[in-house]
Amino acid sequence: MITDIHCHLEAVEPENIATFIGAGNKIGAVSMTLESAQQLLILKRQYPDAIELFLGVHPEATTDETMIKAVIALIHQHRCLLSGIGEIGVPFFYLDDKTAAEKQQLKRQGAQLMARFVAIAADYNLPVNLHVVEDDIELALPILQQYGVEGALFHWYEGTAIQLARLHQQGHFISVSPWIFVDDHYWQFVQTIPLSMMLVESDAPCQYNGKKGDPSMIVDVVVALAKHHQISVDDLTAVLALNTRKYLRK
């Protein structure tokens, strides 16, 4: 069994969901907006044992206070169905055209929103699934420490050796995506991630070399990682399963 720990499942073709889950695998489904959260709740009821459900508001989604409060209400209402809180974090990619001062302000605002969801995760003793890029760990880590949230997942994270060491020392996890087959710089970074903090993800429907992402892609990711670390696919699958259980607090 392999768990795709970060997937926008409502955007995956139903037959592909059925095939992946039918092979005995699981999917960590993260919401971006109120609409996606509602769609994921339907899928969770369809596959109650195979979907690890995370609800949150993506830091780069177009949103407002009404939507944020509605998603928070869903979290409280459906606590028994949740595996964690996410996708939450700090905005990064849509800030390219902003000035340095604007970026700083928007990141601070994003961090404040992240803190609201982290506080909920702390209250319910749930893990968090984070969108935090490069230097933005400087904003995210103090929030996790403030609320005592340990073992966070930094999805598709890439940074410096020093940043990786900090995340490792603090007991956090990093999930590896099929981007290893697209970007050699990312693949080089992934090779330095300690196996003890590694999970895998598709981030579907994110595209890879023009191909729509799908949970099945993580099978090839596991094969590539096993080859690099010179261990069997079965052994690496066992390591990833253990890491996933630790992350999900099971």
| DSSP characters over 214-242 | -TTHHHHHHHHHHHHHT--HHHHHHHHHH
Burial class (CB in 10 A: 0-12, 13-18, 19+), 27: buried
Q: Which two tokens stand for residue 148?
A: 């005592």
For residues 230 and 47, what is the distance between their CA atoms, to the nearest angstrom?
34
For residues 250 and 242, what is the distance between their CA atoms, to the nearest angstrom?
10
Beta pairing, strands 198-200 & 207-208: unpaired
Residue pair 91/59 in contact by the 8 Å Cβ criterion:
yes
For residues 225 and 189, what is the distance between their CA atoms, to the nearest angstrom?
12
For residues 141 and 90, what is the distance between their CA atoms, to the nearest angstrom?
11
Instruction: Check the annotation: does 155 bind a ligand.
Output: yes
Instruction: Check the annotation: does 131 bind a ligand.
Output: yes
**Binding site listing for a divalent metal cation:** 6, 8, 87, 131, 155, 203
**Binding site listing:** 6, 8, 87, 131, 155, 203
